[in-house]
Chains A and B, each alone.
Chain A
C-alpha cells in the first residue's frame, strides 16, 4: 500500500503534523506556557 506515493504523502502529512504539534506543545510547556491561551488580539 505504501507503494503509492500519494498514500505516502497523506501519511507523511499526518505524521509530520503530529510531530510538529507535539514539538510545539513540548516547547511551549517547557517555557511554562500552556498551549491554547485565550486568543484575543492585543
Chain B
C-alpha cells in the first residue's frame, strides 16, 4: 500500500512537472515589446485556391477535430472513474468496461491528431496573417502544446497497453496513476486550445490595435477562458458518454448471446448515466458563459441572444429537448429490467407530461430583432398568445423542471432494484416526496415572481431556481444513501431491455454531435466579421454570417462525416478482436 502511494505521488509530481514549464512560461516576465498591431490583410491577401471555400474547409476540419478531441479527452476521464469504481466495489465488470472504453478511444486518437494536423495546415494556408499573428501572441505556448500532445500520446498508449499487465493489487494503483497523468495532460491540452479560441472572442494582453502588451499568461487568461473551459469540460463528458452509449446500443442490438447482451446493456446504462451527469450542470455552465459574454461586451451578448443568432437558440432548445426526452425514455424503459420496476412505471406518464410541457415552453420564441417582413408576419416583436411563455422566467422554470424530472427518472430506476430495510423507510420516503413538492413549488414560484418583476429581479430570481434544482438532487441523494444502507438488492436483469430503447441511445450521440456543431457555429459567429474581435478584421469574401439553413446543412454534413469516422473506429476496434478460424486440415485421401 505504501509503495503504491509513493508511485501515485511520483506520477502526480511528474504530471505537474510537465505542466510547470507552461505556467512558468506563461506567467514569466516575458513582456515582449512587439509594438506593431495586428495585421490588416485586405481581401486580395487571402489566398484563393481553386475557388474552394476556405471557411467551409476550416470550419469542417475544426469542428471535426473538436468532435474527435472531445471524445478522446472525455473517455479517459470516465474510464479512470469507472476503473476506480472497479477497485472500490471489487466488481470486475467495471474494469472490463473501462478497458473497452479505452479500446474505442485508441483508434480515434490517431484520427484526432490527423484531423488536427489537417486543420492547422488549412489555417496556415488559407489564413496566414491570422495564424502569424496568433503565433506572435501565444509564442512558445504553441510549442508546448505540441510537446503536450506528444506526452498525451505516450501516456495514452501506456495507459491502454499496460492495462492487463498492471491489473491487480498494487500495480493497479500504478496504472491508475498513469491514467491520472493522462487526464491531466489531456485537460491541459484542452485548456490551452481554449485559450486561443477565447482570445479570438475576448482578446486580452494586447492593446486596441492588437500590439502585444502583456505576457502569454495574460492573453491566455482572457475574460472568456474559464467559462469556456468549464463549459467544454462538462460538455465533453456528456458527449463522450453519449457516444460510448451509442456504441453499446449498437453492440446490444448486434449481439445474439444473452451474456454479451447483458454486458452491453449495462455498458449502455452506465454511459447514459455518465452523459446525464455531465449534462445536468451544463445549462448552468452555459448560463455563466453567456453572463460573462454580456459582461465582456453587451454588444456581443445581444448579438447572440437578441440578434439574428437568436433563432439558433430555438434549434438548441429543440436539440436539448430531444436529448432530454431520449434520455428519460431510456431510463423509463430501464424499469423493465427489475421486477419491481412496474411499481414505478405508473408515474412515468406524469414525468412525461412535465418534460414535454417544459420542452414546449422552451422552444417558444420570444422577442427577437426581426427583419421588417418577419415583423409583419408576427405583428410585433412578441407573439400575442405565446409571448409570456417566451420570456426568460418561463424558460428557466421549464429547464429546471425538466432537469428535476430527469433526475427523478433516474432515481426511480435506482430504487426499483433496492428495498430499503431501515426502520424509517416510510418516513424517509415522505421526506423525499415533500422535498420534491416544495422544491418544485419553489421553482415555479420563483418563475412567477420573476415574471412579474423588473429585469434585474428576473435575472436574480433564476439563481434560487438553479440552487433549488441542485438542492433537490443533493438532498435526495443524501437521504437515499442513508436510507438504502444495507438495503435488500434485487436482481437487475441486465439485457432485459427493449430494442426500441436502444434507439433512444442513438438519438443521444446524434443530437449531441449536431448540437455541438451548432454551438460551435454560434460561438464563432459572435465575432461577426472579426477574426479577433475588435482587433483583427476578417476581410475575406466569406466574412458574413451564413443563414441558419446553410449552417444547418454544413453541420449535418460534418456530423455525417463524423459518424462515418466513428463507424470506422468502432469497426477497427472490433477487427482487432476478431480471429480468423484456423483453416480446416485438408482431408488427405
Chain A interfacial positions (CB closer than 8 Å to B): 2-3, 5-6, 8-9, 12-13, 15-17, 20, 23-24, 27-28, 31, 33, 37-42
Contacts and interface: CB of A to CB of B under 8 A. Distances in A.
Contact of B460 (A15, A16, A33): A33
Contacts of B457: 33, 37
Q: What 4 A-B pairs are tightest by C-beta distance, nearest first?
A: A12-B434, A16-B438, A39-B452, A9-B430
B433 A42 contact: no
Contacts, number: 71
Nearest to B438: A16
Given A28-B464, A33-B456, A39-B453, A5 B426 contact: yes
A40 B451 CA distance: 9
Interface string B31-60: 000000000000000000000000000000
B295 to A, nearest CB: 15
B468 A13 contact: no
A22 to B, nearest CB: 11
Interface string B406-439: 0000000000000000000011011101110111
A11 to B, nearest CB: 8
Given A23-B467, A33-B460, 7 more contacts: A5-B426, A9-B431, A12-B433, A13-B434, A23-B468, A27-B464, A39-B453
Contacts of B453: 37-40, 42
Interface of B: 426-427, 429-431, 433-435, 437-439, 441-442, 446, 449, 451-457, 460-461, 463-464, 467-468, 471
Contacts of B442: 20, 24
Given A42-B453, A42-B454, A31 B460 contact: yes
A28 B426 CA distance: 35
Nearest to B461: A28
Contacts of A9: 430-431, 433-434
A12 B453 CA distance: 30
Contacts of A6: 430
B332 to A, nearest CB: 26
Given A24-B446, A27-B467, A13 B427 contact: no
Contacts of B451: 41
Given A8-B427, A27-B463, A16 B439 contact: yes
Nearest to B443: A20
Nearest to A4: B427
A24 B464 contact: yes
A41 B464 CA distance: 20
A36 to B, nearest CB: 9
A20 B429 CA distance: 19
A37 B459 CA distance: 13
Nearest to A10: B434
A40 B454 CA distance: 8
A17 B438 contact: yes
Contacts of A27: 463-464, 467
A19 B572 CA distance: 54
Contacts of B461: 28
Contacts of B430: 5-6, 8-9, 12
Contacts of B437: 13, 16
A5 B430 CA distance: 7
29 contacts: A5-B426, A5-B427, A8-B430, A9-B433, A9-B434, A12-B430, A12-B433, A12-B435, A13-B438, A16-B438, A16-B439, A20-B439, A20-B468, A23-B464, A23-B468, A23-B471, A27-B463, A27-B464, A31-B460, A31-B463, A33-B456, A33-B460, A37-B453, A37-B454, A37-B457, A39-B452, A39-B453, A41-B452, A42-B455
